[in-house]
Amino acid sequence: MTTKSEWRQCEACTAIILREHAVCPNCNEEIDATADIPKELTGTITAFTTIHIAPEKYREDAPYTVVLVRLDNNTNVMGRLLHGQSPVQGSSVHLDYFSAENGPIFSV
């Protein structure tokens, strides 16, 4: 379930990005494939939406909440909120775990 290896951190701008990227979408620097993500990620919810009618692939997950999180290093990452939690814009969140299919799962 935990797939930390799917993600890594850009050394140039500290953005958290999918490992499949060869170039950082945030700063356009080439990515060092050996860079790893920090153990702890904290930030603030800047936007969110709850998906009630999901694409086929995620149908069994619905309803689920997608959050845009501004991390403490001032980069943005998209993820989900832990199932059952209610999002509030501006509330603090921390990384709960990484999911292979859904990316970072945050908890308030």
Beta bridge partners of 44: 70, 92
Question: Which of the ranges 12-20, 51-59, 79-87, 90-98 carries the binding residues for Zn ion, by CB under 5 A?
Answer: 12-20
Closest CA to 81 of 54, 49, 56: 49
CA distance 69 to 95: 10
H helices of 34-108, in order, are: none
Count of residues in contact with Zn ion, rule CB under 5 A = 8
Told to check if 71 binds Zn ion by CB under 5 A, we report no
Work out which of 5, 18, 23, 27 binds Zn ion, going by CB under 5 A.
Answer: 27
Interface contacts to Zn ion, rule CB under 5 A: 10, 12-13, 15, 24, 26-27, 29
